[in-house]
Amino acid sequence: MDDLTPQVWAVDALGALAHETRLSVFRMLVKAGPDGHVAGAIAEMAGVPPSTMSHHLATLERAGLVQSERESRLIRYRADYSGMRRLLTFLMQDCCQGAPEMCSDLVAEVQCDPAR
């Protein structure tokens, strides 16, 4: 991933998110925080067969948006926050044509509300 240009990497990452199930899973993992979820629980929560979920998780991991860690016989997945930050930075780096105040309230619109 690091050998790709930022634009090529961003296209890959956005392509990985351009699927309803993968986008839902990514958001689920972001919401889960550093604990993440094991693969079977992700498949169950998403209502997707485990073999299909494995494919989706591998796509997100190759795109640098998800990390996995083996725990005995289980695999735990977590959102890769540095990958997410990299994608958001790429999308916003040229924002506002030199007038950053146009985007200053963007972070305020992102409410970290666990109830949502």
Task: Give the Cα separation of 60 and 2 in Å (integer).
Answer: 16
The pLDDT assigned to 112 comes to 62
pLDDT tens by residue, 55-80: 999 999 999 999 999 999 999 999 99
Q: How far is CA 32 from the centre of its chain?
A: 12
Which pTM does this prediction carry?
A: 0.85
Written as six digits, the tokens of 22 are 């993968």
The pLDDT assigned to 95 comes to 74
Residue 101 has pLDDT above 90, yes or no: no
Q: 8-22 b/e with 16+ CB inside 10 Å = b?
A: ebbebbeebbeeebb
The pLDDT assigned to 92 comes to 81
Task: Give the Cα separation of 48 and 63 in Å (integer).
Answer: 20
Domains of the chain: 6-109 (1.10.10.10)
pLDDT band at 11, cuts 50/70/90? Answer: very high
Residues near 35 by beta carbon (within 8 Å), at least 6 away in sequence: 78
- For the sheet with 37-38, list strands across it: 37-38, 74-79, 66-71
The pLDDT assigned to 77 comes to 98
